[in-house]
Amino acid sequence: QMDLVESGGGSVQAGGSLRLSCVHSGFTSSNNCMGWFRQAPGKEREGVAALGAGNTVYADSVKGRFTVSRDNAKNTMYLQMNNLSPEDTAVYYCAAHTFCTASWRFSPFNMGEYNTWGQGTQVTVSV
């Protein structure tokens, strides 16, 4: 059974930084696809960043500000978020699939590409 646990959320002022962590168990991260999603109040969940199969993908809204990475030895995926703005305020979710599907590279922000989700961590950015 796979399990994902996020941490690192909090409250920061605009222009600040946070690093989110996603510790996973039940699978070997080097062979699967993982992603970060977020959901703001009243909005649909959206993909932020994803990695797998040698690829790293970012949403246009976070390119140049966010960096996704993972440490396979620690079973952890990270999301470094810099130059945060109030528009980044949301609950951030970690997602994973046991393996990278053939369609993942074409739609890495399709929630259907993932079969395991974390509980989410709140990020609040104030002006």
Q: Given the DSSP bridges, would you call strands 10-13 and 121-126 parallel, antiparallel or unpaired?
A: parallel
List pLDDT tens digits, range 12-61. Answer: 999 999 999 999 988 766 678 999 999 999 999 999 999 988 899 999 99
pLDDT tens track for 61-72? 999 999 999 998
| Cα distances (Å, whole numbers) of residue 95 to 27, 54, 69, 70 | 13, 17, 14, 13
Please count the CA atoms within 13 angstroms of the CA of 36 that sit on its side-chain side. Answer: 33
Residues 84-108 have pLDDT tens digits of 999 999 999 999 988 888 899 899 9
Length of the chain: 127
Region of 42 (left: φ > 0; alpha: ψ -120 to 50; beta: rest) is left
